Amino acid sequence: MIRRLLVANVAALLLVAPGLTQVSPESAEKYTAGQELFQKRRYAEAIKTFEESITLDGQNAQAYQAMGLTYQKMRNYEKAAEAYKMATSVKPDYTGAYFALGQLQLVSLKKYGDAQSSFRKVLDLDPGFKDGKAQEFLAGAHLRQGLIYIRQKNYKSAVEEYTTASQIDPANAKTFYNLGLAHRGARNYKEAIESVSTATDLNPDYDKAYKVLGDLYKQTRKNSRAALAYEKAIKANPKNARAYISLADVYSDTKQLAKAVSTLKKGIAQNANNAKMLTALGFAQHQSKDYSGAIASYKKAIAQNARSKEAQYRISVTYFETKQYKSASAAARKALSGRYSIPANVILGDILEAVKSEGWKDQAIAHYTKGLRDRRYKKYCEDKIERIKNPMGDEEETD
């Protein structure tokens, strides 16, 4: 949106620029000739003509601004910025030049702090400039800078940027949503909930905000509120796959497994080919001990995304539970890279221990040893390795 407005304003500012200063007739004539060349898209010639206008009268701020706009069209953004700054140097109250400079800094140069300064100067000179567009762009500059801080995990600074943006534009739901994300990153959960709740108040159809609100409630162990938020996310957008999965997680955590399965089936009716949702359904069915249903769901997930390590790992667990060891081993081996590599190694150790084929002990120990890297499996793997090395009944007693 901001980029489209910038493109529209580039030509508009040049064509309707007011007579800001008294300049020599010769300079004015050259400026007018430069405008005509600009309209004909003869940008290099226009630049030369604007330079001649400035040579004739160094106080022609409009000519500097026109040079900036022309350089912008030529994608020479640094020179465009220099020209705008010269325009404001010649005429310190040149609102249009500050505005054009701010847009350039915001969209093309991505110098958000500089853009904020430029837009604030516009507002100081004319609070209602362009029907509030300067205020809108100022808020946008803070939003962009906030996003940079989020990516850098500098959540405290992101909170400051988004807070300022919310003060500039208190009716913008997206601003409060982003403020909530920044607070969540900073582990300010109360403030995060307040901010995201404001976003949903401002936009009752904001499904992403309801989803994040549910996550925050779930993170703070308020499961009933989390479920309600996820339900609102689904109502706002029946195709929000993540909301179905998260709602099912709440039901699973609270031992409402039938509801978890039902929720995911409703979601799949809206997203038939969503591999993550099919995997989640398989897991819920496994928890409900519907192993045949789980295997069927996992197979559908793998058909949609053969590279899904989670689906391969989880189907291996269900195969193991149903003593289909060959299938379990084949699936687990496909999950040996990526996020599920450690649990896949653990289940392979379990399979080898269950089958006890020739040479299984060393192989199982090798897999369990890899499981020691993750604290979630460390104790389990230590016990397994110890039992393989020192099986019960083989220990000798001494007097």
The pLDDT score that the predictor gives to residue 131 is: 87
The pLDDT score that the predictor gives to residue 7 is: 46
| CA distances from residue 388 to 317, 320, 366, 378, 397 in whole angstroms, order as listed | 21, 19, 11, 15, 19
Average pLDDT, whole number, for the chain? Answer: 93
Q: What are the chain's domains?
A: 1-151 (1.25.40.10)
Residue 51 backbone phi and psi in degrees, to 5: -60, -40
The pLDDT score that the predictor gives to residue 22 is: 78
The reported pTM is: 0.81
The pLDDT score that the predictor gives to residue 3 is: 52
The pLDDT score that the predictor gives to residue 391 is: 87
Which residues of the chain are under the pLDDT cut of 70? 1-21, 393-399
The pLDDT score that the predictor gives to residue 15 is: 46
The pLDDT score that the predictor gives to residue 132 is: 86
Tokens (6 digits) for 340: 């599920």
Residues 270, 238 contacting (CB under 8 angstroms): yes
Q: DSSP letters of 47-83? A: HHHHHHHHHH-TT-HHHHHHHHHHHHHTT-HHHHHHH
